[in-house]
Amino acid sequence: MHKTIGVLLAGGESRRFGQPKAFAEYHGKKFWHYSMEALIDTTEKQIIISHQNLLTKFKEQTQVKVITDDHHFVGDGPKAGLYTAMKNEESEWFVILSCDIPLISGELIQKLLAYISPGKKVIIPNIEGKLHPLVGVYHHSVFPLIEKQLVNKDRKMMTLLNQVNGLFVTEKELNIDPKIFSNINSPKDYGMLLNNDKISESK
């Protein structure tokens, strides 16, 4: 049994973005590469939970194991992705990252993992008052609760967080820049990301 497994969540349809977000580029690298590199730096094994339409594309570009949502919960969001990872892999802790956070770093994951303590079931960043469940550390013991919630058609990650003993760590405690949590949901977000780079370069 592994101590940590990194789970890249890429099962969404990217409707608002207009194209698969995972394969958008930033500084010459695809978005998903940033999340995967952070996971490779900090976890013993990695797995990608892919949308069915992207399965072949991912498999062509990586040696990491790529699977789709468990057939019982296809399309049920990030909670289904976490469920699928836990059902298919044995590990004490599962570190999940979405595929649309190109400013993410392994350093942040290391800091979250450092907060592991007896009795805590999840460790989630609380950044500027907002919880980020898709950048989190989950104990394998929450699996039955995730399954129960999915069976009851509850897809919300917040329901899970509200029902387990979690640790919510602020940006001050993590000593990180909140902007690394900028997830790119729309073409406007993407444009702002690229434009901020241009502004920084011109200074």
Q: Which domain holds residue 135?
A: 2-202
Q: Count other C-beta atoms under 10 Å from residue 77's C-beta.
A: 17
pLDDT in tens, 3-48: 999 999 997 655 555 567 888 888 889 989 999 999 999 999 999 9
Give CA separation, 8 vs 80, 129, 151, in Å. Answer: 13, 24, 23
Task: Report the CATH number that the domain containing residue 89 is assigned in CATH.
Answer: 3.90.550.10
Rounded to two decimals, the pTM is 0.90
100 labeled binding residue:
yes
Count of domains forming the chain: 1
69 labeled binding residue:
yes
pLDDT in tens, 79-114: 999 999 999 999 999 999 998 888 999 999 999 999
9 labeled binding residue:
yes
10 labeled binding residue:
yes
